[in-house]
C-alpha cells in the first residue's frame, strides 16, 4: 500500500493563479480531509469528505474548493491564489473515528 | 481557533531521559490523539485515548487523560535521538457521527541530544 500520496511536493504560484493539489489514498477509507499548517502552528482543517460525493467545510475553507468523485481521490483547488495561502498542505484519510493517515505534504508559496 | 495548547512549546533533553508533554483542550471530546511530525514530513499517528480511558501505553509511550481538567499528557521514556520531532495533540471536538474532525494544538518541539 502506498498509503496517502500528494502531488506536487513543492509549488510556487503568483497571486491570482489557480491550481489543484492532488491527494489519493489506496486504503479504501471513507473519510478524507485537507489541512494547512502555518509556521509555529498546528494543523487547521480546510475541507473534509465523509464519502464519495459528500464534502463539507472545515475551519478555514475560504479560497478553496474540493470535490470527491471517487473514494480514492480528493483534490483541493485554489481558485485565485493569495499570499495568505502560503502554507504546507496535508491530506489525510481515515477509516472512521480514530487515527488519521497523513500524506507527506505540499509546500506552497504564493508570491 | 485551535482547540488544544501544548506545554511546553519546546523541550530539550539528553538521550535516556524521559520527556513529558502536556495538552489542554476546551470542549468535550470522544477521543484524543497524539501525532509526531519529523521536520518537513507528514504526521504520524502515535496513540489514541478515548474519553472513558484514563491511561494508555504503547511501547515507550504513556498517555494519560483527565477529562475533568480537559488535559492530557504524553510521556516518552528512555528517549532516543530519533525521538527528536514535533508532537501534537488532536481532539475531535466531541462531534457526533462517524468522522472526527481533528482540532490540533500548536505542538511541542522535542530535541533529544546524544
Q: Residue B1 has what pLDDT?
A: 44
Question: Which residue in the set B42, B45, B105 is minimally distant from A99, CB to CB?
Answer: B45
Within 13 Å and on the Cβ side, how many CA atoms surround A55? 22
Q: Tell me: the pLDDT tens digits for A57-111?
A: 998 999 999 999 999 999 999 999 999 999 999 999 999 867 899 999 999 999 9
Show residues of chain B in contact with A44, CB under 8 Å: 2, 104
**Over the stretch A54-70, which tens digit does the pLDDT of each residue have?**
999 998 999 999 999 99
Given an 8 Å threshold on Cβ–Cβ distance, is B33 in contact with A102? no
Chain A (4-23) residues lying within 8 Å, Cβ to Cβ, of chain B: 4
Chain segment B43-54, per-residue pLDDT in tens: 999 999 999 999
A43–B88 C-beta distance less than 8 A: yes
C-alpha cell read off for B58: 504503547
Radius of gyration (C-alpha) of chain A in whole angstroms? 13
Q: How far apart are CA B12 and CA A67, in angstroms?
A: 43
Residues of A in contact with B97 (CB under 8 A): 50
Q: Which of B111, B105, B97, B98 is nearest to B43 (CA)?
A: B105
Q: Which long-range contacts (CB under 8 A, 24 or more apart) does A56-61 make?
A: A58/A33, A58/A34, A58/B101, A59/B1, A59/B103, A60/A36
For chain B, say whether A52 makes contact (Cβ under 8 Å).
no
Closest Cβ–Cβ partner in A40, A92, A99 for B106? A40
Distance CA B23, CA B6 (A): 4
Residue A80, C-alpha cell as written in the block = 485565485
Amino acid at each position: 500500500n502506498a498509503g496517502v500520496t500528494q502531488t506536487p511536493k513543492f509549488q510556487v504560484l503568483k497571486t491570482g493563479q489557480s491550481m489543484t493539489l492532488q491527494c489519493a489514498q489506496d486504503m479504501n477509507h471513507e473519510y478524507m480531509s485537507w489541512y494547512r499548517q502555518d509556521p509555529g502552528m498546528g494543523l487547521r482543517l480546510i475541507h473534509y469528505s465523509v464519502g464519495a460525493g459528500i464534502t463539507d467545510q472545515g475551519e478555514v475553507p475560504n479560497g478553496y474548493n474540493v470535490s470527491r468523485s471517487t473514494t480514492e481521490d480528493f483534490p483541493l483547488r485554489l481558485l485565485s491564489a493569495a499570499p495568505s495561502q502560503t502554507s504546507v498542505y496535508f491530506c489525510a484519510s481515515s477509516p472512521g473515528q480514530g487515527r488519521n493517515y497523513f500524506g507527506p505534504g505540499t509546500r506552497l508559496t504564493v508570491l | 481557533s485551535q482547540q488544544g495548547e501544548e506545554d511546553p512549546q519546546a523541550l530539550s533533553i539528553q538521550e535516556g531521559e524521559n520527556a513529558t508533554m502536556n495538552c489542554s483542550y476546551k470542549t468535550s471530546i470522544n477521543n484524543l490523539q497524539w501525532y509526531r511530525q519529523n521536520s518537513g514530513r507528514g504526521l504520524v499517528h502515535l496513540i489514541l485515548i478515548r474519553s472513558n480511558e484514563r491511561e494508555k501505553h504503547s511501547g515507550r509511550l504513556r498517555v494519560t487523560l483527565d477529562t475533568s481538567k480537559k488535559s492530557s499528557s504524553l510521556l516518552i521514556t528512555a528517549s532516543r535521538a530519533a525521538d527528536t520531532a514535533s508532537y501534537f495533540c488532536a481532539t475531535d471536538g466531541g462531534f457526533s457521527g462517524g468522522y472526527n474532525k481533528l482540532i490540533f494544538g500548536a505542538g511541542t518541539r522535542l530535541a533529544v541530544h546524544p
